[in-house]
Amino acid sequence: MGYVTSLCVGLLCLFARGSKSQESELSEILSLIQALTDQYTSERTEVFSKLEEMKTELIQDVREMIDGNKVQATSVRHDLANLQQLLETDECAQMSHNCSADAICIDTRVSFRCKCKPGLTGDGYSCTDTDECAANETICGPNSVCQNTLGSHTCECDEGYAMKESSGTCEDIDECREGKNNCSTYAICENLPGGYNCTCSIHHEGDGFSCKGIEMNCTEPFKAVRGIGCIHITEESEEFDQGRESCKALGGDLFVADNKDHYLRLAQHFRSTDQVSDVKYMWVGVKEGVWLSGREVDPAEEAPENPSMTSEKCSYTDGDPGEDFLLWTDPCYYEWRSLCQQEI
């Protein structure tokens, strides 16, 4: 404040001394006023109000001097009018500024300022966009496409990917889990990076999007159960080896699940029927590496050979619909019924 005050007081003194022609002095004053105003445009309101106060006083002083001297009054009045007009004009609102179209115009007391829009660089009269995509190839992260825009850029995820808010990157959409797939009801959906696969389930054929059941030619007494196979439960309770022979005599062998899903489908089938409610335990075969209820079968411990057992323990299934359909072992001389399967 001290600087402004002393300078302005100095200007008034300069004018009052009358050492130069009034016209040139006024012009000098005006340009200094403008310089001061520009200098402090962006400063605090306190400075503005003080400056405004000083301007009013200065203009008043000049008016009084003109009235007193009656010298070149017209010219001085004209400059004063210009000064007032400058102070009152909003170049931004009147669109009389020459800021870049990509800049923001800010009105100041005697002029205006140009400021490039966010994301653009330049002096306000000319503004240039930065191509963030070219400047940083990894700005959008993996699995996305960067698109430069004026003042910014956008990141669009590749097809099959979606922006995950927690990580801020494009991650694979699990179409199978999220139900965003067109797989047939009779198909198995497999999630893949950026897509998914549909494969018709067992005993169905088609392209995965449209699947229909294939004909299952089971011979009596085997019954076709789609998704499981041709199966039959023996009437007699027998030891393991005898039960297996009974299956073979009917044209099949002991049931062996291909994988965990196959086994779960079998469990589901029995749960949905009351077929085994009075059977409970059935001899079955077992294959190495098959997972049952999340537990890996250890063939050495649970079922040494497939499907014939040479150890003293043989594999059976607990078919009680109220229980988990699990695989267990019992001494092979126990007598259970057998779950037989016929190859299609």
By the criterion CB under 5 A, which residues form the site for Ca ion? 129, 148, 153, 172, 191
CB of 86 to Ca ion, least distance (A): 36
CB of 169 to Ca ion, least distance (A): 15
In this complex, which beta carbon is closest to Ca ion, that of residue 126 or of residue 148?
148
Residue 214: which residues within 8 A CB-CB, separation 6 or more? 203, 204, 205
Q: At CA 74, angle to CA 72 and CA 76, rounded to 5?
A: 70
Q: At CA 240, angle to CA 239 and CA 246, rounded to 5?
A: 90
Backbone angles phi, psi at 314, to 5 degrees: -125, 155
In this complex, which beta carbon is closest to Ca ion, that of residue 28 or of residue 174?
174
In this complex, which beta carbon is closest to Ca ion, that of residue 77 or of residue 164?
164
In this complex, which beta carbon is closest to Ca ion, that of residue 127 or of residue 211?
127
Residue 325: which residues within 8 A CB-CB, separation 6 or more? 263, 264, 266, 267, 270, 271, 293, 317, 318, 319
Question: Could you tell me the two tokens for 286?
Answer: 């077992």
Q: Can you spell out the DSSP letters for 69-112?
A: H-SSHHHHHHHHHHHHHHHH--HHHHT-----TTEEEEE-SSSE
CB of 152 to Ca ion, least distance (A): 5
CB of 161 to Ca ion, least distance (A): 8
What single letter denotes the amino acid at residue 207? Answer: D
CB of 121 to Ca ion, least distance (A): 10
Which single residue is written with the structure tokens 């047939």? Answer: 184
In this complex, which beta carbon is closest to Ca ion, that of residue 108 or of residue 191?
191
CB of 175 to Ca ion, least distance (A): 5
In this complex, which beta carbon is closest to Ca ion, that of residue 89 or of residue 191?
191
Q: Which helix (H) or strand (E) holds 172?
A: strand 169-172
Characterize the bridge pairing of strands 127-129 and 120-122: antiparallel
